[in-house]
Amino acid sequence: MRGRGFPPGRRGARPRSRSPLHVGARRVRVRRRLSKRCGFRVRVGLDATWAAAEGTGTASYTRGLIRALAGHANHEFVLYFRPGDEERNPLFQLDRANVTKRCVGGWGQIGRTWLSLSRETRRDRLDIFHSPSYFLPVCKAPRVATFHDVNMFLQWNKWWRPGMRAGWASLAIQTVAASRLANRIVADSHHAATQIRRVLHLRDSEVDVVYPGVNDLYFEESRDATAVDRYALHEYFLSVGVLSPQKNLEGLVRAFAALDRPKTHLVIVGRRDGPYFDQTVGPLIDELHVTSRVRVLGVVPDLILRRLYRSALALVFPSFAEGFGLPPLEAMACGTPVVAACAGSLPEVVADAGLLIDPNDIRDLAEAMSAVADDKSLAGTLSERGRMRARLFRWSTSARRMFDVYESFA
């Protein structure tokens, strides 16, 4: 790629030249002033297919970011969908004068991205193409890719399992390819940015940090029916996220089983990630004799999820690794106390607004859950801190920061 060399650290590799697209901080400030006077306008292509992946953080990210970006009427957006997204992708209903929609098919993820999408983006004469999740086409326009983490490399043993290996290989290959195609990588957190630079051998200037936001729905004060009314739950801990090994569901179930709270339930919300949950977590629930107190709800609509957050004793999020972690912020926006792992980006996101625990220490996790459930003063303090913390993460801010990234080289 023009302006790029080989990753540092390879014997005999030529040094990377300074990209002609790079601009210094002073020049960015000058261009911001000019854009306000002259009307900076950019035509951005975005791969909106990720918004259809119901029950994933990637879908929440794609929906929140594109809706916030499209609210800036002085810019144009071309959204690329798959055939069939008319029914299953909520972004297809985005009706704005500055938004154009394209349906692009293709054989498999790689075939669609590198062949069909590459051809379509060249025809649309974009100023920038932005992928909200790793995969980048080959196009003439400057390219931006959001990398949520590099756990496919750092946590490879949790991906290398029956039913997931082909997906892991595709993601790993396209992540490396996108890191070389992109003019800029966007990370969700400073922790994720550090790992991305180290694993993929990128320079500091090649990775920017733009925090995701929280859906405004979770801040709204409304008279929701409680989870008690809908699911006949009286008191419960809540777990939200894809049901995958890195979420540490086994540790959560063991900690829950260790509690002396026979009337308390554990509610698990999220989509299954291959056969892992049914083959590993389900049998563990039976083995620990807590089957009658564990409710697995699968994917639920946002309005119902808000009800579940607001009625819970706490959101428990003991992941081994996270590039960001939206559920803790959603829970905090609802005023729900959070118990989260002191791992990955979670300390950066949660800060002092939640209880941070060692995800490998079952006793530590169980004690934190008990403390939040039994100490009303502590729960109240965490609720108030959580609301204040969540207000710092809004999609409107994320969109403005993303435009700064675009403007720095568009």
Of 191, 105, 114, the C-alpha closest to 154 is 191
Between CA 167 and CA 363, with CA 249 as vertex, the angle to 5 degrees is 145
pLDDT at residue 40 in the model? 65
Say which CATH class 216-390 falls into.
Answer: alpha beta
Using CA atoms, how far apart are residues 202 and 195, in angstroms rounded to an integer?
10
User: Are 25-213+394-407 and 216-390 equal in CATH topology?
Assistant: yes
Per-domain residue ranges for the chain?
25-213+394-407, 216-390
N-terminal to C-terminal alpha carbon distance within the chain: 17
- B/e letters for 20-38, b = 16+ CB within 10 Å, e = fewer, are eeeeeeeeeeebeeeeeee
Is there a contact between 338 and 315 (Cβ–Cβ < 8 Å)? yes
Q: Alpha carbon of 276 to those of 247, 249, 323, 341, 348: distances in Å? A: 11, 10, 21, 21, 29
Per-residue pLDDT tens listing for the chain (410 residues) = 444 443 444 434 434 444 433 444 444 444 444 444 445 689 999 999 999 988 888 999 999 999 999 999 999 999 999 999 999 999 999 999 999 999 998 887 778 888 899 999 999 999 999 999 989 999 889 999 999 999 889 887 776 666 677 777 888 888 999 999 999 999 999 999 999 999 999 999 999 999 999 999 999 876 666 555 667 788 999 999 999 999 999 999 999 999 999 999 999 999 998 888 999 999 999 999 999 999 999 999 999 999 999 999 999 999 999 999 999 999 999 999 999 999 999 999 999 999 999 999 999 999 999 999 999 999 999 999 999 999 999 999 999 999 999 988 76
Question: What is the homologous superfamily of the domain 25-213+394-407 according to CATH?
Answer: Glycogen Phosphorylase B; (3.40.50.2000)
Q: Alpha carbon of 323 to those of 151, 192, 218, 311: distances in Å? A: 8, 5, 21, 27
